[in-house]
Structure 1
Amino acid sequence: MAEENGAAAPTPNGQAVPPRMQILGQFIRDLSFENIAAQKSVQTQTQPDIQVQVALDARKREQDNQFDVIVKLKIDSKTKDDDPQPIFLIELDYVGIFQVENVPQEQLHPFLMIECPRMLFPFLRRIVSDITRDGGFPPLNLENMDFLSIYRNELSRRAEAKKTADA
């Protein structure tokens, strides 16, 4: 019965086994930083307009209970003029390798797309801060991301796309 409502399966002694997550490794799969301002001699005297796009993906690995969770960031910075000029562009794919146990199958996808990126975020923030600083700009400190909202928005977007495709 506990599995039907999404709770962890009980052990023989009747206690529920809590979900278990372990980060086995993490790495930058792809990184691009373009200092467009330096290339085109753009003068940036004002606060830039910074747009952050996030995409999430997860893949099962060959080993049991192991998954790759990929967080893709695209950060686009432009001047806040009447004619916005690009300042810099960052594209980053960051991967975490996770061992996930005791999560019911119907809850695995949300767990991978919400909890795992939440664990990777402090490392992403540090990489972005270091890249912008090393690229000649003030360090960009990303604000906390609400991965639950990102997940829900993606589900809504997919549902809308399916409705449009079925119509």
Structure 2
Amino acid sequence: MAEENGAAAQPQAQPQPQIKMQVLAQFIRDMSFENAVAQKGLNGGEVQPDIQVAVSLDARKRTQDHQFEVIQKFRVTSKNKANGETLFLLELDYGGVFHIEGVPDDQIHPFLMIECPRLLFPFIRRIVSDVTRDGGFPPLNIDTVDYLSLYRQELARRSQATAAAPQGQPN
């Protein structure tokens, strides 16, 4: 028993701070759906949809302590493979307000750009599915977004942009 107490008295590694995250709010900031088929009066004949999904992220600190806002922008374009005509265009800006504590300052940016969007994604998928169905198309269940890969791509893009910038020029 004395050995157990002695072992407990030895200095141990600094414990990691407990991360606390709470979603305070979720909201649609902006949304647009354009049904080009109905607008142009195209016939519903030979349609082979080619769907492209573009995602961009933005995050910012709010004035309240430990609060952050994360915005995901989705642009979903469906074109007919046969002739390149646009079938529909959906643009969705979806946001979340998060209360986050215990994340080290050097890790807050990746946390905001990876973990927070992961929590919001199922709601975005549902909105896209409902809007495309209500817009006259089969419901579109978009594939899960790999936010870690997206984050790494953005870091690589920024690194290349910095390397390509002329030396000696003020930023």
What TM-score do you get using the length of structure 1 for normalisation? 0.88
1:38-87 Cα offsets, whole Å, 9 max, x none, are: 11122343330000000000010000000000000001110011x31000
1:27–1:94: 8 Å Cα contact kept in structure 2? Answer: yes
Question: 1:134 aligned to 2:137?
Answer: no
Which residue is 1:41 aligned to?
41
Secondary structure, aligned partner of 2:52: strand
Aligned to 1:89: 89
Cα deviation code 1:105-135 (max 9, x no counterpart): 0000000000000000000000000000000
**Equivalent residue, structure 2, for 1:64:** 65
> 2:17, 2:103 within 8 Å by CA — same for their partners in 1?
no
Using structure 2 for the length normalisation, give the TM-score: 0.86
Tell me the amino acid that sits aligned with residue 147 of structure 1: Y
What letter is aligned with 1:39?
A: Q
Alpha-carbon displacement from aligned partner over 1:132-156 (angstroms, at most 9, x marks no partner): 0000000000111100000000111
Q: 1: distance between equivalents of 2:25 and 2:136?
A: 30
Residues 42 and 87, structure 1, Cα contact 8 Å, conserved in 2: no
Contact 2:114 2:147 in 1 (8 A): yes
In 1: Cα distance, 2:61 partner to 2:43 partner: 46
**Greater Cα radius of gyration, structure 1 or 2:** 2
Counterpart check, 1:105 vs 2:89: no
Aligned CA-pair RMSD? 1.4
Corresponding residue of 1:115: 115
- Is the 8 Å Cα contact of residues 24 and 99 (structure 1) preserved in structure 2? yes
Structure 2 unaligned residues grouped into runs of 5+ = 1-13
Aligned residue pair count: 154
**Which amino acid letter does the alignment assign opposite residue 144 of structure 1?**
T
Aligned-pair distance for 1:164?
1.7
